Amino acid sequence: MRIRDEDKIKRIYKAAICLISEVGIAGLTMAKLAKEAKLATGTVYIYFKSKEVLINKLFTKLQQEAAERFMQGMEKQSNFKQQLCRVFLNYLNHRIKYHDESVFLEQYYRSPYITKDQLQLTQALKQPVLDLFHQGQDNDELRCDMDVHMMFLMFLGFIRELAGEHVLGFYVLDEKKKLEAFERSWELIEKGG
C-alpha cells in the first residue's frame, strides 16, 4: 500500500497549496481540503495528526524543495559570476513559478505558528547561498567592505520584490529584465565595482 499512501499525501499537499493561495491559511478548512484532495476528512487525519501538523510539514517540505531548486545547475557554470547569476535566476524564477508556495512560506514564516526550530532550519537552508558569497569574497570575486549577510539580504529582498510585483502585474519581467536585475546586483557587490 506504499504507493497509494504516498499518492494521498501528495494530493493533500497539493490541495493545501491550491486552497491556501485562494483563501489564505485562515480560510483553509479540513473539509475543503479533503474534498479538493478527493478524500474523506477522516482520511486526512490518518496521514496528519492535526491541521497544525499538516501545515507545519507542508512548510518544511516546501522550504526544502525550494532550497534544492536554488543551487540547481550552479556547478555547471564556468565562473563565479555565472554561478551567482544562476542562483539569482533560480530564485527569481522559483518565486514566480511557485508563487503560491512562496506566499504560503512567507505567510507562515511571519506567523505565530512557526516554531524556533523551524526558524533555525530556515536560516540553515540559506547557508549554501551564504557560503557561495563567502567563497566569492575569499576568491577576490566580491568586495570585502560589505558583509556577506548584507549582500545576501540585498539579493533576497530585490528578488522578492521583483517577483512579487511581476506576479501582481505591476512590473513585468522578461528574460532581459531578469538579467539586467542581476547585472545591477552584481555591480553592487563585485570586487572593484
Residues that bind a copy of itself (CB under 8 A): 1, 22-27, 40, 103, 106-107, 110-113, 119, 123, 146, 149-150, 153-154, 156-162, 164-165, 168, 170-171, 177, 180-181, 184-185, 187-188, 193
Region binding DNA by CB under 7 A among candidate stretches 25-33, 100-108, 117-125, 146-154: 25-33
Of 3, 75, 78, 174, which one interacts with DNA (CB under 7 A)? 3
Q: How far is CA 83 from CA 87, 132, 175, in A?
A: 6, 9, 17
Collapsing DSSP to helix, strand or coil, 73 comes out as coil
How far apart CA 161 and CA 168 sit, in angstroms, is 11
According to the binding rule CB under 7 A, does residue 29 interact with DNA? yes
139 phi/psi in degrees, rounded to 5: -90, 15
Residues 38-97 that bind DNA (CB under 7 A): 39-43, 45-47, 49-52
Given the complex with a copy of itself, which of 42 and 78 has the nearer CB atom? 42
All three cell numbers of 87, joined, read: 542562483
Of a copy of itself, DNA, none, which one does residue 8 interact with (CB within 5 to 8 Å by kind)?
DNA
Of DNA, a copy of itself, none, which one does residue 22 interact with (CB within 5 to 8 Å by kind)?
a copy of itself
Can you list the alpha helix ranges (DSSP code H) found in 28-168?
Answer: 30-36, 41-47, 51-70, 80-97, 99-109, 116-138, 148-168
According to the binding rule CB under 7 A, does residue 4 interact with DNA? yes
Long-range pairs for 51-58 at CB < 8 Å and ≥24 separation?
52/113, 54/12, 54/16, 55/16, 55/25, 55/108, 55/113, 56/113, 56/115, 56/118, 58/13, 58/16, 58/17, 58/104
Q: Could you tell me how many residues make up the chain?
A: 193
Region binding DNA by CB under 7 A among candidate stretches 31-39, 88-96, 125-133, 174-182: 31-39
Given the complex with a copy of itself, which of 73 and 153 has the nearer CB atom? 153
Burial class (CB in 10 A: 0-12, 13-18, 19+), 144: exposed
Of a copy of itself, DNA, none, which one does residue 172 interact with (CB within 5 to 8 Å by kind)?
none
Of a copy of itself, DNA, none, which one does residue 41 interact with (CB within 5 to 8 Å by kind)?
DNA
Footprint of DNA on this chain (CB under 7 A)? 1-5, 8, 28-32, 39-43, 45-47, 49-52
